[in-house]
Chain A
Amino acid sequence: MDNLIQVVSIASAALAVSFGAIGPALGEGRAVAAAMDAIARQPESAGTLSRTLFVGLAMIETMAIYCLVIALLVLFANPFVK
């Protein structure tokens, strides 16, 4: 029984990371594309744009990091595995 929980934990950790990465990846792609567009139109505001872009990317990336942390909790700090 204990073994089954571990198997399910590993599978769910892989699922959490893989599906959790889809959304942030698409979002980051859109954000960078929009920033590139804006820099191409207004190269003089590249400094402000890239600073805002970095902070925004960090925000988006947090979603993927949450999934990673959940996966780690499931793998290493699982309350159902002794």
Chain B
Amino acid sequence: MQSPLVTEALFHLGPVPITAPVAVTWGILAVLGGGAFVATRRLKLVPGRGQALLETIVATIDAQIRDTMQADPAPYRALIGGIFLFVLTANWVSLIPGLEPPTAHIETDAALALIVFAATIGYGIKARGLVGYLKTFAEPTWVMIPLNVVEQITRTFSLVVRLFGNIMSGVFVIGIILSLAGLLVPIPLMALDLLTGAVQAYIFAVLATVFIGAAVSEGEAPAPRRDSLQKER
């Protein structure tokens, strides 16, 4: 049985080995980015079917960010929405036969969590200034500084391990079942994997929102809620 921690190179680009997860990631980026580019070329005031779908997605993500952070979602929409859609697509890419979710390998998750980590610091500094952000580590007292620093690292690490563990265990279990039972038997488990993938994508995005929200919060008045969005859900 192949170890889930090892990836083999698919092909070499010059001296750089390219593994299957990286290639799949590029494919997802191309599909999502290209799809968004094509879909937003001809935006109309009265939306057609595709534009209505896009607007629903954006409005839902906006509502979630507003509910979680109690702030205007505009500065965070691109990052959070991008993370959510990417992780969701990556988790569901196993619907295409022969492809394995890139999130089932720890490197992809580590990269995503590092983006969240950097974004937390970046938004924190932007909202409070460098000194102001560093001061939040000394809250409530200076005794908490080591704990707060450790917390930053462990929660990033747990982001990595949570996504990796969930998706990889799904892929792994299906591999084991396939080697035991074969045709049609793993299908219920695959359906369960789709549910897990969606939930994990949602949780990754919500946790990213919570971390960024905690870094920027205080000192900002909550944005007014749009009642129409609340009623929709």
Chain A CB within 8 A of B199 CB:
yes
User: Cα distance A66–B162 when bound, in Å?
Assistant: 8
0/1 per residue, B135-177, Cβ < 8 Å to A?
0000000000000000000000010011011100100000000
Q: Is the CB of A72 within 8 A of B203?
A: no
Partner of B162, one of A47, A54, A58, A76: A58
Main secondary structure of the interface of A (DSSP, over half): helix
Main secondary structure of the interface of B (DSSP, over half): helix
* Chain A interface extent, by class: 10 to 19
Contacts of B206 in A (CB 8 A): 51, 54-55
Chain B CB within 8 A of A34 CB:
no
The total of chain B residues at the interface (CB under 8 A) is 22
Chain A: CB-nearest residue to B209: A55
Contacts of B67 in A (CB 8 A): 48, 51
Contacts of B199 in A (CB 8 A): 54, 58
Partner of A69, one of B68, B165, B210: B165
Chain A: CB-nearest residue to B207: A55
Q: Is the CB of B5 within 8 A of A55?
A: no
**7 closest Cβ contacts across the A-B interface?**
A65-B165, A76-B3, A58-B203, A62-B162, A62-B158, A68-B165, A77-B5
Q: A residues bordering B, Cβ < 8 Å?
A: 47-48, 51, 54-55, 58, 61-62, 65-66, 68-69, 72-73, 75-77
Q: B residues bordering A, Cβ < 8 Å?
A: 3-6, 64, 67-68, 158, 161-162, 164-166, 169, 199-200, 202-203, 206-207, 210, 233
Q: List 24 A-B contacts (CB under 8 A).
A: A48-B67, A51-B64, A51-B67, A54-B199, A54-B206, A55-B203, A55-B206, A55-B210, A58-B199, A58-B203, A61-B162, A65-B161, A65-B162, A65-B165, A65-B166, A65-B169, A68-B165, A68-B169, A69-B161, A69-B164, A72-B5, A75-B3, A76-B6, A77-B3
